[in-house]
Amino acid sequence: MHSNSRRSSSIPLAAILATVALAGCGKKAETLNAPEGAAMPASSPTANVSDIDVTEHVKTALTQSELLHGMNVAVSTQKGDVSLTGTLDTQAQVSEALRIAWAADGVHAVHDDLRLKP
């Protein structure tokens, strides 16, 4: 009886672990909060910064980053929500791209659809 209870308690644990492991495989774009310790944009939530300006500020900052030099990150903005899409070499590059996006004036949210090269 004792071994039966062990087996039945390990089945739900295995199912949970499998679900967590597979969750990363079909990663969808995430809306992220500003990273802890990151400088928040100087603008207030009601700042009147156009989406075109936000996109251009983020693109310019990405191209000026030494860590992201030569990387192709697509940037789009809608109502202050910035989406980053592309494939990068390292997690450090992903973190840098997200940090840069959050630093731009007029940003309300950042959607991370960045991938790492296999």
Q: What integer pLDDT is reported at residue 43 of this predicted model?
A: 46
* Residue 101, CA distances (Å) to 3, 23, 34, 41, 75 in order: 53, 25, 10, 9, 9
- 3 state SS of 116: strand
Q: What is the pLDDT of residue 48?
A: 77
In terms of phi and psi (left: phi > 0; alpha: psi -120 to 50; beta: otherwise), the region of 39 is beta
Residues contacting residue 22 through CB under 8 Å, at least 6 positions apart: none
**Which domains does the chain carry?**
29-116 (3.30.1340.30)
Residues β-bridged to residue 81? 78, 109
pLDDT confidence of residue 32? 59
pLDDT tens for the chain, 118 residues long, are 555 544 444 445 444 444 333 334 444 455 556 555 454 444 445 467 899 999 999 999 999 999 998 999 999 999 999 999 999 999 999 999 999 999 999 999 999 999 999 9
pLDDT for 67 equals 96
